[in-house]
Amino acid sequence: MRRSRKVKILATLGPASSSEAMIKRLFEAGADVFRINMSHADPALMRQLVHRIRAVEKEVGRPIGILADLQGPKLRVGRFAEGKVMLEVGQSFTLDDNPAPGDASRVHMPHPEILASVQPGHRLLIDDGRLELKATATDGKAITCIVVAGNRISDRKGVSLPDTELPVGAMTEKDRADLDAVLAAGVDWIALSFIQRPEDLAEARKIARGRAYLLSKIEKPQAVTRLAEIIELSDALMVARGDLGVEMPLEAVPGIQKQITRAARKAGKPVVVATQMLESMISAPVPTRAEVSDVATAVFEGADAIMLSAESAAGEYPVEAVATMNRIAERVEQDPTYPGIINAQRSEPEATGADAISLASRQIAETLKLSAIITYTASGTTGLRAARERPQVPIIALSPVVQTARRLSLVWGTHCVVTADASDLDDMVNRACRIAFAESFAKPGDRVIITAGVPLRTPGATNMLRIAYVGAEGSGA
């Protein structure tokens, strides 16, 4: 099964989509990668979902990527004696280290790092920004605030700190246990939540040891400030617009989305645009026109993947949401303005042999109107460099490593095929042509371009390109 689009679709699994039959339907509707949200899944459920995805993968004969999204440090206030209170604009309110139930004047803050880090003038946003406080005095044990935007506050509501950098890593004890579990289950991508600084990736990378790729979710102002450093240490990025829109002005989010997308494209790192893309389809069979435009904008920007969250996890129309996103993406990529917009955002290649080969293969393929660019890639590097060029022709990524093919299922334009390694150059050409023919990318008489590293099986050493004719029954010449 080949897709008629280059952008990938990432669908979150949940109560509405956890059965093997539903996972297959979502794949057939257009999902390329499945997300397991560890905020709502324990290790036992995660293992069940991985098993079901792999069963579907075997049935459809296509590599399917799995992304496990770690919860990260969820910061919450304590509990109230009456469950909730109403705070009025201008009143004083205190968050302190006293574990006693709260009232209209104070509440427990069970995070010493917040009490120690918040300074006068810093904002505290409660319940996704519905309540805004500003610190007026701090002493390490209590934060005295004035209510800037009043609202009701209830037990265990989340706290966002847009002005404060916390001296804690992005991983909690729950995340460490979940990370061990998802690595043992063989997931392909691990998403790290609430990244603030490049150092936040160090612990996860040390534990993962290359067994999965790391995706940094950009959802805090501190991460935007150090974006270049975070990109360098990440394998991929996510524009997590939900929390980003809480901690930064809503009107700043579209520009930040473009900034992150273009920076990731320049670095050749996959980038996912996520959150509320088809939000109304949680309860409606069709999206709003604004949501369609939002999805289209991400596709026009050249994002590698677009993501569904509650729409596919808990909504009433999970299959319809995936199918709708699939149709939008297909139509955008067929739009006559699409190639020009994608080309205008293309970055200059780096001064490496691999980038030079990727650039040349795109230019040759587009000039000669070849049927496909075929890359041999064991580690995935060659596939990533080919996708960085955003060619108009399809990319077929051939790999003898199933984990590599699954990871590349998140990457723009790559049609991944698991195949035995070539024994020599002739075998490499013949195998590439046969697969292009079998996967319906080329017919006899068409030409394809093949890139690889010589000698074969040398990771990251892309140094060869070759134009080949597809012969009868897919043989190469």
Tell me which residues are annotated as active site.
Answer: 35, 76, 217, 275
| Sequence-distant (≥ 6) Cβ neighbours of residue 216 within 8 angstroms | 191, 192, 195, 201, 223, 230, 231, 233, 234, 236, 237, 238
Q: Strands 8-13 and 151-154, how do they pair?
A: unpaired
- Reduce the DSSP state of residue 353 to 3 states and report it: helix
- Reduce the DSSP state of residue 230 to 3 states and report it: helix
| Sequence-distant (≥ 6) Cβ neighbours of residue 222 within 8 angstroms | 165, 196, 197
Q: How far apart are CA 452 and CA 346, in angstroms?
A: 23
Residue 49 φ then ψ, to 5°: -65, -40
The letter for the amino acid at 429 is V
- Reduce the DSSP state of residue 228 to 3 states and report it: helix
**Contact between 103 and 226 (Cβ < 8 Å):** no
- Reduce the DSSP state of residue 217 to 3 states and report it: strand
Residue 359 φ then ψ, to 5°: -65, -45
Q: How far apart are CA 318 and CA 14, in angstroms?
A: 10
Residue with tokens 């580690």: 379
Residue with tokens 């995805």: 53
Q: Strands 159-160 and 123-126, how do they pair?
A: antiparallel
- Reduce the DSSP state of residue 33 to 3 states and report it: strand
Cβ neighbours, 10 Å, residue 420: 9
**Hey, which residues does 208 pair with through a beta bridge?**
none
Q: Where are the beta strands (DSSP E) in 346-403?
A: 373-376, 395-399
Residue 237 φ then ψ, to 5°: -130, 155
Q: How far apart are CA 105 and CA 82, in angstroms?
A: 13
- Reduce the DSSP state of residue 134 to 3 states and report it: strand
- Reduce the DSSP state of residue 330 to 3 states and report it: helix
